Structure 1
Amino acid sequence: MSKTIFITGASRGFGKIWTEAFLKRGDKVVATVRDLNSLKDLAKEYGEALLPIKLDVTSRAGCFAAVTKAKEHFGTIDVLINNAGYGLFGAIEETAEEEARKLIETNVLGLLWLTQAIIPVMREQGQGHIIQLSSVLGVVPFPVMGVYSTSKFAVEGLSEALAGEVKGFGINVTIVEPNAYATDFSNDSAVHAQSMKEYDEVKTAFRSGFTEDMLGIPASTVKAIFKLVDSPQPPLRLFLGKIGLSLTKQVYQGRLATWEEWQDVAVEAHGK
């Protein structure tokens, strides 16, 4: 049975790949982009199955209008994939105010506005699935990616709370956490803060920690996304790629050890 998928950031990367894959298997797709020309090829091939919408997700009014248009056009919205977002590379000290604000407005507030807009539609339907694009860096922060990690940690907290709020409406929530993939995430679509020589050594260490085999193949995510949207009981969290689980286990073992070591201090601070 075909579904109606609403996906943001559909002009490139995962968004474009998943949009095409859903259309190819017979689903209907609402695809939002900043530039409608980026969807001309898919619009020509798939016709009425695709509803392209020009949208800047940082506009709350625009997000609500896009959801209204999608509902009026297709009658239902089964899945929202909040994919729009971009990377910001730079140390905390290097990051300019405007860079930080724009990133949060897109990666966090844009996701929030679409989420708020879709909930009434899915509540009325009595069913729906909200998929929030986070990152492994929303679980484990890396140096020189701190502000980007901040945005994804916010997505994690918002989405886990959301899952508890909307479960009774028949709405599922999944946080998707990809590791590094061979997209243009670190190139054309990313912002790079102005470098300070004081962080050269940290950046060199950061880059040296990555090898070519750590980059996933973007098209290989399609089967996982299909399984996710088709699952009657989707998980709250899903890693994409082979790095996420092992890295998270390692980091959380260290966190638990530190909390245990300082537990006496924590208990004393309770006061009774």
Structure 2
Amino acid sequence: MTRRLWFVTGAGRGLGRAFAEAALEQGDRVVATIRREGVLDDLTEKYGDRLVPWRLDVTDRADVFRVIDEVAATVGVPDVVVNNAGYGLVGAIEELSEQEVRAQFEVNLYGALWVSQAVLPHLRQRGSGKIVQVSTVGAVGHLPLFGAYNASKWALEGFSSALAAEVAPLGIGVHLLQLGGFATDWFGSSMAYATALPAYDETRGGIFGMPGYPTPEDVQAAGPSTDESPRVAAEALLALLDEPEAPLRKVIGTGAHEMVRMALEWRRDDYRHDPEFVWPAPA
């Protein structure tokens, strides 16, 4: 079996770590980008030089291009690039500061865009490779208080769909993972919250069960997540990569398919207000 080389951003924990570990378990090599030294020491001890931790700030375009070029020159051109680095920003649109919104897009959108741009010349020269964008069911629909996060992922899907059509003739695949909830620290340290305005207390109550935004103590008191293990998402990605004609979008996670269906139904019903619009009939 031909072993692949992976490049995974945000691999220090959560889904990124699960993707890296699943690849290593099947014998592949992984360049895993991190922000803090030592977070992958246990995997390095277990898998040796098949795991290469690499410091990277995905929001720094020059740093991204430098790292990708160094990886290609010293480790090799990746076969699979997983743009996983990201976080959630929660806040009503009125509550969000310019700095908060720009930071959300810098990581979730521009980080993936810079990595994609940086790796494409290498994949194009070789004539093969896959770019995997970690998206969400929230990129199909929307949720109050998650507007900036949803917008960053909708934008990710927009450029990735165009990219897929651009590079398919060059032998390069692009795939979007539309994920549901997984048992990571997403609602903890991977989540940022705006400063609450009282006008949205009722909305917060409907979503979080409290008038304010959750504190770290609230998150800890809630106990372990009951969502699926990130391993499920990692195994689904491995299966997707082995499909001979893998789709652009892959919905993954318990309840995720239902969420996508509901979002598309809402959009269909909204369009039905236009008498000139006819929703496509089922094939």
**Shared fold by TM > 0.5?**
yes
Give, as a single letter, the amino acid of the residue that structure 1 aligns with 2:206: A
Q: Quick check: 1:78 aligned with 2:79?
A: yes
Q: 2: distance between equivalents of 1:76 and 1:109? A: 21
1:127-152 deviations in whole A, cap 9, x for unaligned?
A: 11000011111111100111000100
Q: After the TM superposition, which residues 44-55 of structure 1 pair with which residues of structure 2 at under 5 Å, given as runs?
A: 44-55=45-56
- Equivalent of residue 258 in structure 1, options 265, 270, 275: 270
Partner of 2:240: 228
Decide whether aligned partners of structure 1 residues 56 and 231 sit closer, same or farther in structure 2, where only a CA change above 3 A counts.
same
Q: Quick check: 1:245 aligned with 2:257?
A: yes
Contact 1:179/1:216 (<8 A) preserved: no
Deviates further, 244-253 or 11-20: 244-253
Contact 1:5/1:29 (<8 A) preserved: yes
Partner SS, residue 39 of structure 2: helix
Partner of 1:134: 135
Q: After the TM superposition, which residues 14-93 of structure 1 pair with which residues of structure 2 at under 5 Å, given as runs?
A: 14-93=15-94
1:37-60 deviations in whole A, cap 9, x for unaligned?
A: 212222222221111110000011
Partner of 2:10: 9
Deviates further, 188-197 or 221-230: 221-230
Contact 1:129/1:172 (<8 A) preserved: yes
1:17-41 deviations in whole A, cap 9, x for unaligned?
A: 1111211211000111111221222
Offset at residue 252 of structure 1 (A): 1.7
Partner SS, residue 32 of structure 1: strand
Q: 2: distance between equivalents of 1:254 and 1:181? A: 24
Unpaired runs of 5+ in structure 1? 268-272
Unpaired runs of 5+ in structure 2? 210-223, 279-283
Taking only aligned residues, the RMSD between alpha carbons, in angstroms, comes to 1.8
Q: 2: distance between equivalents of 1:134 and 1:71? A: 25
* TM-score normalised to structure 1 length: 0.92
Number of residue-to-residue matches in the alignment: 263
1:67-96 deviations in whole A, cap 9, x for unaligned?
A: 112111233310100000001111111111
Partner of 2:118: 117
* TM-score normalised to structure 2 length: 0.88
Give, as a single letter, the amino acid of the residue that structure 1 aligns with 2:95: E
Partner SS, residue 185 of structure 1: coil
Contact 1:30/1:52 (<8 A) preserved: yes
1:97-132 deviations in whole A, cap 9, x for unaligned?
A: 111111100110111000001111111111110000
Query: Comparing both structures, which one devotes a greater share of its residues to helix?
Result: 1
Partner of 1:101: 102
